[in-house]
Amino acid sequence: MLSRNAANLYWLGRYVERADYLCRLLEATIRLAALPASHGGADGAWESAIRSAAVADRFAASGRRFTEADVGHFLALDPTHPGSIRSCLEMARTNARSLRTALTLETWQAINTAWLELQRFGTEETDPLTLMRLLDTVKQALLAFDGAAHRNQLREATYWFMRLGTSLERADNTARLLDHKYHILLPRTERVGGSLDYFQWTTMLRVVSANTAYRWVYRDSVKPWLVADLLILKPQMPRSLIACYEDIVFYLDRLARERGRPGPANRLALAGLQRLQATSIDELFQEGLHEFLLRFIAQNNALGDAIAEQYLF
């Protein structure tokens, strides 16, 4: 496979995942903002969304305020913001278009349709109902994309590179989301269910679409340390850091089989997975959750560099 195509596929996976994450983040924030300020709602929710998307500096520079209209526009439709859903989809589609030979017709159609549908919403601020509809549309279109890729793409380098990008981006998103909220996850002696932070935790679960998953896994009320456990160390949870790394190791392994031999990226990914497997949530809290997450984000970035190096992007 051409190295340029491999890079395009990898970034296609990343952009699609980022757009999906932003949709879920906005949806959860709209819910949270509907609560009174004393429960973490109102305008505090929008500030929090900007921080969870790791775009605080850019947002501040744009001179906007933490309101639904401003944040919603900035994260969803702003064509001048490279981190908006619109920009992510545009880049994903450009990548896909330059790769038409590598994608099946249906995979291409799915991403092309997502882009065409989004364009109907324009580039201006929207009312909340339209924003909800937009998020729903994009989410559905991206599900169609994932489905088409999963069902029809040959299981060879094309698919592995795309999935690799998805998993790496997903790990990054989950880690940043956790790091932004790490202070509310620390174990404290508080009345369960009555905490001010309760809605913050459930919002976080919602962002990674794990509200129901949590109940299935723990069969318990929402407790912050268990939320952290779910999103970091539970392999059953598809957006957890450990699940992402299991996937990354698998995809890199498949690519190595086609290429003939594993490289530095394979070793880095495996080391990362083993570190997660060897740890427990108690140890993480003792070590310091914030420190752990910062280190993880840095290591995840280093892995991205190693992949680019290994496949000559």
Partner 1 sequence: MAGAFDEMLGSSPYADRLDPAAVRPVYQAVARWLASASPELLATRRRQAELFFRRIGITFAVYGDPDATERLIPFDIIPRVISAEEWALLEEGLTQRVEALNAFCADVYGPRECLRAGVVPEDLVLRNPQLCWHQLGFRPAGGVWTHVTGIDLVRTDPATWMVLEDNARTPSGVSYMLENREVMLRLAPELVSEELRDGGIRPVETYTDMLLATLKSVAPPGARGEPVVALLTPGLHNSAYYEHSFLADRMGIELVEGSDLFVHDDVLFMRTTAGPQRVDVLYRRVDDAFLDPLVFRPDSLLGVPGLLRAVHAGNLTVANAIGTGIADDKAIYSYMPGIIRFFTGREPILANVPTWRCREPEALAEVLDRMPELVVKQVDGSGGYGMLVGPQATAEELDRFRQRLKAEPHRFIAQPTLALSTCPTLVDSGIAPRHVDLRPFVLMGAHGITIVPGGLTRVALKEGSFVVNSSQGGGTKDTWVMGPGGT
- Which tokens go with 51? 């921080």
Residues ≥6 apart with Cβ < 8 Å to 27 = 132, 135, 206
What minimum distance in Å lies between the beta carbon of 196 and partner 1? Answer: 49
> Which of 208, 207, 210, 186 is closest to 197 using CA atoms?
186
Q: Is the Cβ of residue 26 or residue 111 nearer to partner 1 in the bound state? A: 111
Q: CB–CB of 64/71 below 8 Å?
A: yes
The CA distance from 262 to 259, in Å, is 8
Residue with tokens 């850019």: 58
Q: Is the Cβ of residue 203 or residue 310 nearer to partner 1 in the bound state? A: 310
Q: Which stretch binds partner 1 (CB under 8 A): 18-26, 37-45, 199-207, 253-261?
A: 253-261
Q: Which stretch binds partner 1 (CB under 8 A): 12-20, 23-31, 109-117, 268-276?
A: 109-117
Pick the binder of partner 1 from 31, 66, 83, 113 (CB under 8 A): 113
Q: Is the Cβ of residue 265 or residue 268 nearer to partner 1 in the bound state? A: 265
Pick the binder of partner 1 from 118, 157, 208, 248 (CB under 8 A): 157
User: Diameter of the chain by CA atoms?
Assistant: 58
Can residue 116 be called a binding residue for partner 1 (CB under 8 A)?
yes
> Which of 60, 93, 84 is closest to 134 using CA atoms?
84
Q: Which stretch binds partner 1 (CB under 8 A): 100-108, 146-154, 175-183, 189-197?
A: 100-108
Residues in the chain: 313
Q: Is the Cβ of residue 95 or residue 173 nearer to partner 1 in the bound state? A: 95
Can residue 154 be called a binding residue for partner 1 (CB under 8 A)?
no
Can residue 97 be called a binding residue for partner 1 (CB under 8 A)?
yes
Instruction: Using the CB atoms, write b or e for 69-79: b if 16+ within 10 Å.
Output: ebbbbbbbbbe
The CA distance from 13 to 167, in Å, is 8
Binding mask 51-90 for partner 1 (x = CB under 8 A): ----------------------------------------
Residue with tokens 């500030």: 47
Number of residues that bind partner 1 (CB under 8 A): 23
Can residue 101 be called a binding residue for partner 1 (CB under 8 A)?
yes
What minimum distance in Å lies between the beta carbon of 312 and partner 1? Answer: 6
CA distances from 10 to 65, 94, 95, 106, 216 (A): 34, 13, 9, 18, 32
Contact residues toward partner 1 (CB under 8 A) are 1-4, 6, 94, 97-98, 100-101, 105, 108-109, 112-113, 116, 157, 255, 258-260, 311-312
